[in-house]
Amino acid sequence: MKQSSAKILLVFVFAARGTSFLFSKNLLATMSPSSVLAVRFLLSFLILSLIFFRRMLKVDKAALLGGVKLGALYTLCMLCEMYGLKTIDTGVSSLVENMAIIFVPIFAAAIARTLPKAKTIFCALLALCGVALLSLTQIKKESGGFGMFLIVAAAVTYAFCILATEKYSKDCDPVAVGIIQLGTMGLLSLLFSLAVQSFALPPGRSEWFWLLLLVLLCSCFGFTFQPVGQKYVSAESAAVLTAVNPLTAAIMGFVAAGEEISLKKLAGCAIILAALLLYNIKAPQETRQIRSIASPRERAVKCDSYSKTEPAP
């Protein structure tokens, strides 16, 4: 596959993931957040297990444990996202959650007991200013302030999910780990839903339609083809393309859901988007350093150290 074709594929992948916020928002009108997650990820697990059944037959203990641990962490992230999405706009939710890309190097530096780069700190502060502006547009909604808190919590948890993904999929089949992760998310969401007595299947045809779009377009298509595209595109290029995710969510929220557009909201979205793009634009010396590495595998690892691009399922 040519690099240009891979970039086009990734644009469609990230756009598909961006639609998940609107589809989920529509389902939340008649279903609980945990019910949506349970049905979505259990169906995704079954479909992908059938597609990749040969790989699943070869799953080892490391891949199984890694997938279960990642699934537990991602379940917490997705529950925060879905409960926050109930009260705030789809575009706002997607933008704020994508701040995880900036949080990753900060948390990684804290774990390593080192200081993050000055540009990383600046971009994080810039993004937080954008969140503050967006919060002003959401607090007028019922429980909007709490919804913003949950989405920020989802972004923080998402950052830890990215770090954990690097750890648990390093020496395992990433496809098998991802499928087990989806199954774990579906099972834990089902148990949570049953515990709070909120589990329910989609009540009508329209709800099943939105749910199947979530399963096939956002989970199965996005999960299967993102690794294909990133095989031919550098990590920093893929990171810049992730901006398609929140842009798609914002446009669909405005066009399909009739979400309000105000100057404060536009300014907040622009500031966060600028922070994400600025963070992912590499200095010439960084690019030369990446290209100077001999082996393709080392080059990929080095690129990954500069930018993490593991969108939520």
Q: What is the mean pLDDT of residues 25-46?
A: 93
**pLDDT score for 6:** 79
pLDDT of 174 higher than 60: yes
Q: What is the mean pLDDT of residues 92-102?
A: 78
Q: What is the mean pLDDT of residues 237-255?
A: 70
> Lowest-pLDDT range, 7-16, 53-62, 226-235?
226-235
pLDDT of 234 higher than 70: no
pLDDT of 274 higher than 90: no
**pLDDT score for 292:** 40
**pLDDT score for 17:** 76
pLDDT of 226 higher than 80: no
Q: pLDDT tens-digit profile of 104-123?
A: 788 888 888 888 888 888 88
Q: Is the pTM of this model over 0.85?
A: no
**pLDDT score for 19:** 83
Looking at per-residue confidence, does 168 or 53 come out higher?
53
HEC readout, the chain: CCHHHHHHHHHHHHHHHHHHHHHHHHHCCCCCHHHHHHHHHHHHHHHHHHHCHHHHHCCCHHHHHHHHHHHHHHHHHHHHHHHHHCCCCHHHHHHHHCCHHHHHHHHHHHHCCCCCCHHHHHHHHHHHHHHHHHHHHHCCCCCHHHHHHHHHHHHHHHHHHHHHHHHHCCCCCHHHHHHHHHHHHHHHHHHHHHHCCCCCCCCCHHHHHHHHHHHHHHHHHHHHHHHHHHCCCCHHHHHHHCCHHHHHHHHHHHHCCCCCCCHHHHHHHHHHHHHHHHHHCCCHHHHHHHHCCCCHHHHHHHHHHHCCCCCCC
Looking at per-residue confidence, does 276 or 216 come out higher?
216
**pLDDT score for 288:** 47
